[in-house]
Amino acid sequence: MTRIAKAAVTAGITISAIRNWVRVSADWVGFDGNAATQSAETLNQLRIADIVIPAVTAALAILVMWNYDLTEEKAREIKEELEARRGAL
């Protein structure tokens, strides 16, 4: 499979996952896309979701990166090894 095909498949999966997540989130907060107005409870839950979801994903990213062992020295070593394999860009 070529890089372009892999990127296209990855993009398709990502877009599908995001669309599904939006649907699930909208159902969770009680959002009705056909309604002319939303209830106060739905608006409050949307506000909470706008805070909680980014906070949780940021916390997960921090946890993943917390023990990621990449120093400047190690980054230089990786760069030198890559340049040795394929040449300088």
Mean pLDDT, each 10-residue run in order, the chain (89 residues): 85 86 78 86 88 92 88 92 86
With CA atoms as reference, report the closest residue to 29 among 55, 2, 58, 52.
Answer: 52
Q: State the pLDDT at residue 19.
A: 81
Model pLDDT, residue 18:
83
* Residue-level pLDDT at 3: 84
Residues 6+ apart with CB under 8 A from 48: 29
Task: Specify whether the CB–CB gap between 41 and 28 falls below 8 A.
Answer: no
Token pair 């190690």: residue: 74
Number of domains observed in the structure of the chain: 1
| Containing structural domain, residue 13 | 3-86
Within a 10 A sphere around the Cβ of 4, how many other Cβ atoms? Answer: 8
What pLDDT score was predicted for residue 62?
A: 93
Q: How far apart are CA 38 and CA 42, in angstroms?
A: 6
